[in-house]
Amino acid sequence: MRVVGTAGHVDHGKSTLVKRLTGIDPDRLAEEKAREMTIELGFAWLTLPDGEEVGIVDVPGHRDFIENMLAGVGSIDAVLLVIAADEGVMPQTREHLAILDLLGIERGLVVLTKIDLVDDEAWLELVMQDVRDVLQGTTLATAPILSVSAHSGEGIEALLEQLTILLQETPRRANYNRPYLSIDRVFTISGFGTVVTGTLLGGALSVGDEVMIYPQQLRGRIRGLQSHKKRVERAVPGSRVAVNITGIEKRQIARGDLLAYPEQLNPTLLADVHFRYLPDIQRPLKHNAEVKFFSGATERIGRVRLLDSDMLSPGESGWLQIRFEQRTPLIQGERFILRYPSPPETIGGGIIVNPNPGKRWKRHQPQVIAALETRLSGRPADKVAQAAEATEPIKIGQLQQITGYDDEQLAAAIAEALREGLLIQFEDGRVIARTRFHALLDAMYDILSNYHRQYPLRLGMPREELRSRLKLKQATLGLFLQQQEQIIDEGHLVRLKSHKIQFSAQQEAQIRQVIEVLSENPFAPPPRSALLQIVDEEILYALLDLDEIVQVQPEIIFVRDIYEQIVATILQWIEQHGAITVQNLRDELNTSRKYAIGVLEYLDGQGITRRVGDERIRGRNAPA
């Protein structure tokens, strides 16, 4: 299934041609019929001689509605540039052609309509030459020029044949498994609810899929799908689709919103773009200029930050960072158009290179420009490595969204990057750029080395503290630690393999004294505060890390052997009697209620015991 757009001047007979080709009048509004002028986007469809179904997007031609035209022309596979033979190329034709060129639309046909009104061959040849001259230097420079009459039908069959050939030579829209729909219409149908329409790109959608509307991030579910008025269970990339959504009301959605999977997009206030300024603009583009931004059906007000120059002269290209007034969902690699708001004028366009830079770049920074150049035109291996520069390892699906490669291209790029050592892949399939991987490892070594110097009597750094300082998820930290032989993961502690606790002779003597004090009355030992009269707090931390002592409550500490004896006593009692109470343990150990409660509450927390009313039974972590 393909989508073709019609563009051209308002009086060139676009809608009449579409009706002749499809039998459908794309002008559905009463005002459009009264004024004989396309104001809003119109839609129709037909089946070509080879059986290919084609959706038609008829865009407004009048200058007053150029922004409506932009909402429909961004996602087409090919274009029919319609020019009236009796009038020739008009200013609006040139603007439409410039927009098509900026959007990179390379496949199209130029259709000279109303040839039944021209009986002068010399005039017709003059118009054709004018058209060829206008096309030079654009993406449609080699487009065939066909002559037709929508009224008499002359040339219609040849047009359909040429359109068939053109679309057969046009690559199918890729499936990146990341579907998105730039919404160009939203309405309700009685008994069904909210319906949105657009051209589906990036992946397929199926009935029952959970989806999200961006930037509002509203969750809904697909109740039904239609393509060309036919119900379908699955819509494929490149097709015109109507999506019936449950869970979201019409008033919550507007043209230009994006429909995609939940958490697929991250609406942004900044975007890095490569921009081409049209040569016939009468003033340079200055830093911080206000512009209107168009991509797909999305329209936003923003300001341009020139990253590699002080201003752009007409005809020049450069790097911009666009700052939007409101959060905007964007797709990397999509084309965009910029216009001046007042007086309204199309000034240029280009490619969205980074839809989520996350920060305002300093201007005139060579390293920033170099990174953007790689994103735009680097080798596939370099692009995937750059996309994997995030702190966290990245999933393959996220790489696909960033790079815009299909499955085969992505697999080849990742394989090449792994061969060249640009990427490192973890056991769970995620990847990270080698530069980022080693930067994180260096940071990990530095953090642990500094911690060992600051706390030489501690076995290691708390795992959570290390994770927090590295700004990693726990699962990611685990992946990193699995990769390292020189870092020991003790579970709740992490240390360098080279680090060991070493006590001085004086400290060894203090430790022996602490153990003796704790052992004198093993089931009712002195409080922690009393032990700190004998040794420094750091030595107590070391004994805890070395598992020589066990702290069951802030002030209750047992020697490890005594603690294990207590646990064995408790479990044996439970084995014999089915459960144990605080009073049972107090009497069995000949200790006080304070110690009995402290031990049992600690064991509850460890899962060794489980409280049921006033009794304890075996817990899930109790040893066999």
**358-386 tens-digit pLDDT:** 899 999 999 999 989 988 888 889 889 98
Strand partners, 311: 286
Mean pLDDT of all residues in the chain?
89
In this structure, the dihedral spanned by the alpha carbons of residues 567, 569, 573 and 579, taken in order and rounded to 10 degrees, is -30
In the predicted structure, residue 335 carries a pLDDT above the cut 70: yes
- Rounded to whole angstroms, the Cα distance separating 367 from 580 reads 68
In a domain, 547, yes or no: yes
In a domain, 536, yes or no: yes
Structure tokens at 505: 């002779």
- Give one DSSP letter per residue of 509-546, joined into a string: HHHHHHHHHHHHSTTSPPPHHHHTTTS-HHHHHHHHHT
Expressed as residue numbers, the domain containing 393 is 378-502
SS3 496: strand
Same domain, 410 and 490: yes
Instruction: Specify the number of domains making up the chain.
Output: 5
Q: Are residues 323 and 414 in the same domain?
A: no
Query: What's the pLDDT at 65?
Result: 47
Mean pLDDT of 552-562: 95
Quote the pLDDT of residue 34: 41
The residue ranges of DSSP E strands in 239-398, in sequence order, are 240-246, 258-260, 268-277, 285-286, 290-295, 298-306, 311-312, 317-328, 335-340, 345-354
Q: Is 219 inside a domain boundary?
A: yes
Residue 398 has a pLDDT of: 83
**Does pLDDT of 589 surpass 90?**
yes
Q: What percent of the chain has pLDDT over 70?
A: 95
What are 558-564's contacts with CB under 8 Å, separation 24+? 558/518, 558/522, 558/525, 559/515, 559/518, 559/519, 559/522, 559/525, 562/518, 562/519, 562/522, 562/523, 562/525
Query: Judging by beta carbons within 10 Å of its beta carbon (0-12, 13-18, 19+), is residue 250 exposed, middle or buried?
Result: middle
DSSP reduced 3-state for 317: strand
Of 368, 388, 409, the last residue of a domain is: 368
Which residues lie closer than 8 Å to 227 by C-beta, 6 or more apart? 1, 53, 55, 235, 239, 240, 241, 242
The confidence score (pLDDT) of residue 118 equals: 81
Is 21 a residue whose pLDDT tops 80?
yes
CATH number, domain containing residue 127: 3.40.50.300
* Mean pLDDT confidence for 200-217: 94
Residues 6+ apart with CB under 8 A from 624: none
Per-residue pLDDT reduced to its tens digit, 471-509: 888 888 888 888 788 999 888 899 999 999 888 899 999
Q: Are residues 319 and 408 in the same domain?
A: no
Q: Report if residue 173 sits inside a domain.
A: no
603 found inside a domain:
yes
Q: Are residues 148 and 18 in the same domain?
A: yes
Report the SS3 class of residue 177.
coil
Select the more confidently predicted residue: 48 or 64.
Answer: 48
Helix, strand, or coil here: 452?
A: helix
For residue 206, the surrounding DSSP H or E stretch is strand 205-206
Residue 373 lies in a domain: no
Task: Give the Cβ contact number of residue 572 at 10 Å.
Answer: 12
In this model, does residue 63 exceed pLDDT 60? no
Quickly state the pLDDT bin for 270 (edges 50, 70, 90). very high
- 150, with CB counted inside 10 A (0-12, 13-18, 19+), is buried
Is 306 domain-assigned? yes
Check residues 483 and 65 and name the one with the higher pLDDT.
483
pLDDT at 258 over 90: yes
pLDDT beyond 50 at 5 = yes
pLDDT tens profile 93-149: 888 888 889 988 889 999 999 888 888 888 888 988 999 999 999 999 999 999 999
Specify whether 53 is located in the same domain as 151.
yes
212 and 309, same structural domain?
A: no
423 and 532 inside one domain: no
Q: How confident is the model over 380-399, as a mean pLDDT?
A: 87
CB atoms within 10 A of CB 605: 11
Q: What is the largest CA-CA distance in the chain?
A: 120
- pLDDT value at residue 295: 92
Cβ partners under 8 Å of residue 157, min gap 6: none
DSSP string, 132-156: HHHHTTSTTTT--EEE--TTT-TTH
Identify whether 393 is part of a domain.
Answer: yes
Question: Is the distance from CB of 255 to CB of 297 less than 8 angstroms?
Answer: yes
Q: Are residues 497 and 509 in the same domain?
A: no
Band (pLDDT 50/70/90 cuts) for residue 163 is very high
Q: Mark whether 154 and 185 lie in a shared domain.
A: no
> Do 135 and 82 lie in a common domain?
yes
Looking at the fold, whether 387 and 305 belong to one and the same domain comes out as no
The pLDDT assigned to 12 comes to 53
- Residue listed under structure tokens 């409660």: 597
pLDDT tens digits, 285-332? 999 999 999 998 899 999 999 999 999 999 999 999 999 999 999 998
Please state the rounded mean pLDDT for residues 43-53: 87
Helices (H), 180-304: none
* Last residue of one domain, picked from the residues 502, 528, 548: 502
State pLDDT tens for residues 403-456. Answer: 878 888 899 999 999 999 999 998 888 999 999 999 999 999 999 999 999 999
| Per-residue confidence (pLDDT) for residue 319, from 0 to 100 | 97
Decide: 181 and 173 in contact? Cβ < 8 Å: no
Based on the domain organization, do 336 and 201 belong to the same domain? no
In this prediction the pTM is 0.70
CATH at residue 588: 1.10.10.10
Domain boundary among 368, 388, 407: 368
Cβ–Cβ < 8 Å for 578, 598: no
